Every structure is written in structure tokens, then in C-alpha cells.
């Protein structure tokens, strides 16, 4: 397989701050499978998809958490403004 696919394992591990063992636990693969894939410069289509989906889910969750933080801030500030105006909720 091409080098780009193998770097997917390294890139995602580094990007998410996970060891191969931790990444493997998240996607249902063993650390040895990930290491073997990298050392042999090969990656199965299933492993590639599992990593890509995990990365997509992780990014989605991060965006969702950020949106929730924004909503909480808006709610907090809205209540503060209402209180300052003397409006009871």
C-alpha cells in the first residue's frame, strides 16, 4: 500500500494524543496489529475505515462540545442581563 495510508495510523495517533494501544482499544484493534501495519507499510481497508470513522466521530464530538459551551455561555449571559434589568424568569 502507499505510504500515505500507513501514516494515517501515525498521524491520527499523534493528532489525538493516543498511543497505538489506546487507539487500538478505541477502534477494536490490538496494539500489535497497528504496529505491524505500520512496520510492514500496509494497512487493510477495514483498519483504514475504522481509523477514519473514529477520527470523524472524535472531531464531531469536539464540535458538539464547543457548541454546547457556546450555548451555556449565551444562557448564562442572557440570565445575567435579565437579572440586571430586573426581569424575573
The full set of domain ranges for the chain reads 3-84
∠ CA 39-45-41, nearest 5°, is: 15
For 23-32, the pLDDT digits (tens) are 999 999 999 9
Q: Given this model, what pLDDT does residue 1 score?
A: 46
pTM score, whole prediction: 0.73
**Alpha-carbon gap, residue 81 to 23, rounded angstroms:** 45
Query: In the numeric block, which cell numbers belong to residue 27?
Result: 477502534
Domain 3-84 is of which CATH architecture? Orthogonal Bundle (1.10)
Q: Given this model, what pLDDT does residue 41 score?
A: 82
Q: Given this model, what pLDDT does residue 87 score?
A: 87
Query: In the numeric block, which cell numbers belong to residue 38?
Result: 505500520
Amino acid at each position: 500500500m502507499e505510504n500515505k495510508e500507513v501514516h494515517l495510523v501515525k498521524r491520527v495517533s499523534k493528532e489525538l494524543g493516543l498511543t497505538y494501544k489506546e487507539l487500538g482499544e478505541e477502534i477494536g484493534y490490538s496494539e500489535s496489529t497497528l504496529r505491524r501495519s505500520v512496520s510492514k507499510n500496509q494497512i487493510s481497508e477495514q483498519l483504514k475505515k475504522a481509523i477514519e470513522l473514529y477520527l470523524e466521530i472524535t472531531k464531531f464530538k469536539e464540535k458538539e462540545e464547543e457548541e454546547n459551551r457556546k450555548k451555556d455561555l449565551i444562557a448564562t449571559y442572557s440570565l445575567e442581563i435579565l437579572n440586571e434589568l430586573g426581569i424575573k424568569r
